[in-house]
Amino acid sequence: MSLLLDFIDLRGTARDVLLGLAPLAAIGLIFGLRAKLPRERLLALARGAVLVFAGLVLFLQGVKTGFLPTGELLGKALGTPERAVWLAPVGFALGLAVTVAEPAVRILGDQVERATRGSIRRKVIIAALCLGVALAVGLGMGRMLLGLPIHFITVPGYLLALVMLPFCDRVFAPIAFDSSTVATGPLVVSFISAVALGAAEAMDHTDPLLDGFGLVAVVALVPVLCVMAAGVVHTLKTRRTS
Amino acid sequence: MAKIPRDFLETAGSLLPVTLVVLLLQAALGFLDAEGLARYLGGTILSTAGLLLFLRGVNISLLPLGELVGGQLPRVSSLWLLLCLAFIVGASANAADPSLQILAQHMKTTAGEVSPALLLLVVVAGIGVFVSLALLRIALGLHPALLLGLGYGLVLALSLVVPEAAVPIALDAGGVATGPLTVPFLISLGLGFVSVLGGRNTSSDGFGLLGLAALGPVLGVMLLGTVLG
């Protein structure tokens, strides 16, 4: 029965969400009144705010009672020495699973196709992103297993992005860096991070603070590199033809 | 047959592949008992319902609000006031983001020496400062790649110098902070801001805000890690 009570007891979550939303609600009220919005639009804003509040409470409650404990248990199950070889392949599968269905990834695909005037197809970007994130999570989990510092992934990644920067047209850099947010949705942040933290806790040689974190950063890097690479290819192509 | 709303399919669909992977792993490893499995499925249903309501609310209120605020900001009389307001608006939107609360939960699990509240404060302030900077860049008409290149170069350099324990969580903070509430709000804020300034290339000027904002928490947490040693 405690399980059902856990799900239903929304008080703690509701208080946290209310506290978090209060400043934004105040800003909405002040700007809405100052701009002398008509009554209907103010009411629409308020209705939307209620939906945002209810949605956040339910979502966070589901994350706290469902995703986080499951992710941690999965991580702990994978952190035992005889199963640790599974970590990287499971990371790959989870990375693929969260990216394939992410709506923001498809929107980014359209954006890049437009920015390159069709020379880089939407499908190519989406496939590159999905594979990239899957590889990144797999690598991230693998690095934890080997106890390597995060620098082994982030330093080459950031360097590569910075090296490509001068070689692509000015439209690409902002799209590329903005896109770091497309794959780091709430699922990556809650579920995949919980798996990593659980695994780091279960392994003796790891420190959860050093090894459990860092996956989100690695996932954030992949879209940047993909879009930047698309930009370099497109820029070189157009320069050659002109 | 009743028509199933598109956003319902999208939201439910986005959780489906992960659930499949979890169920496959459960079949292979059996890492969950019956209660754990019920917990996961119940949590998935709650989260799907929650995301659905949340996304509806974002469309009705958050996007119009972002555009409204973004459109009002350029009318402010002084540059300093504009920067202060941008800080407050950016930080407030970020404070409401569910990803931050998830980060706080993760912090509890690791039981580090840094209190989650202090860390969240630094993250939120970092977003605020960098939203100000991003709007300042648009107002001054600087090349977007310049600040992005400098900022990411700085992160790269600092990641090699600051205490090692702070690096993974600092780098994560950027991706965590740009969560499902902050991203759409900042996009519409930037669009509103650029549309009122007018004249310049609106489509490319609106971009770059998120990439820059994501740097704030990273640099902030690195700084915090250095101060605390």
What pLDDT digit, counting tens, does each position of A57-72 carry? 999 999 999 999 999 9
Same domain, A131 and A231: yes
Domain final residue pick, A30, A48, A68: A68
pLDDT-above-90 percentage for chain B: 53
Predicted confidence at residue A178, as pLDDT, reads 87
Predicted confidence at residue B2, as pLDDT, reads 54
- The parent domain of residue A92 ranges over 80-241
A73 domain-assigned: no
Predicted confidence at residue B199, as pLDDT, reads 56
Contact B62 A219 (CB under 8 A): no
Same domain, A189 and A209: yes
CB nearest B68 (choices: A35, A150, A184): A35
Q: Which residues of chain A have pLDDT under 50?
A: none
Same domain, A21 and A92: no
CA–CA min distance B227, chain A (Å): 17
Predicted confidence at residue A121, as pLDDT, reads 85
Residue B76 has pLDDT above 90, yes or no: no
At B11, the amino acid letter reads T
Same domain, A16 and A112: no
A163 domain-assigned: yes
Rounded-to-integer distance, Cα B86 and Cα B136, Å:
9
**Token pair in block for residue B195:** 């549309």
The predicted model gives B29-36 an average pLDDT of: 89
A98 domain-assigned: yes
Same domain, A114 and A172: yes
Rounded-to-integer distance, Cα B53 and Cα A54, Å:
7
Whether the Cβ atoms of residue B53 and residue A58 lie closer than 8 Å to each other: yes
Contact A20 B152 (CB under 8 A): no
Same domain, A89 and A177: yes
Predicted confidence at residue A1, as pLDDT, reads 52
Residue B178's SS3 state is coil
Q: Which position has the higher pLDDT, B44 or B208?
A: B44
**Token pair in block for residue B3:** 């028509």
> What is the domain count for chain A?
2
Side-chain-facing half-sphere of B149: CA atoms under 13 Å: 17
Contacts of A125 (CB under 8 A, 6+ apart): A108, A109, A112, A113, A226, A227, A230
If you average pLDDT over each of A127-131, B89-93, B136-140, which comes out highest?
B89-93
Same domain, A100 and A206: yes
Model pLDDT for residues B146-197, shown as the tens digit of each residue: 888 999 999 999 999 999 888 999 999 999 999 889 998 998 998 888 888 7
Predicted confidence at residue B111, as pLDDT, reads 58
Same domain, A201 and A115: yes
Chain A residue numbers with beta carbons less than 8 Å from the beta carbon of B50 are 54-62
Predicted confidence at residue B1, as pLDDT, reads 42
Stretch among A234-238, B87-91, B131-135, B210-214 having the lowest mean pLDDT: A234-238
A75 domain-assigned: no
| Interface contact A47, partner B, CB < 8 A | yes
Task: Indicate left, alpha or beta for B199 from its phi (over 0: left) and psi (-120 to 50: alpha).
Answer: left
Same domain, A59 and A85: no
The predicted model gives B19-32 an average pLDDT of: 91
CB nearest B164 (choices: A83, A104, A210): A210
Residue in B closest to A43 by C-alpha: B61
Contacts of A137 (CB under 8 A, 6+ apart): A91, A92, A94, A95, A192, A215, A218, A219
Residue B115 has pLDDT above 50, yes or no: yes
Contacts of A122 (CB under 8 A, 6+ apart): A106, A109, A110, A112, A113
Contact A186 B159 (CB under 8 A): no
Which residues 62-81 of chain A have a CB within 8 Å of chain B? 62-70, 72-74, 76-78
A14 domain-assigned: yes
**pTM confidence score:** 0.90
Same domain, A136 and A196: yes
Here the ipTM equals 0.89
Which residues 172-201 of chain B have a CB within 8 Å of chain A? 172, 174-176, 178-181, 183
Domain final residue pick, A24, A41, A68: A68
Chain A residue numbers with beta carbons less than 8 Å from the beta carbon of B153 are 158, 162
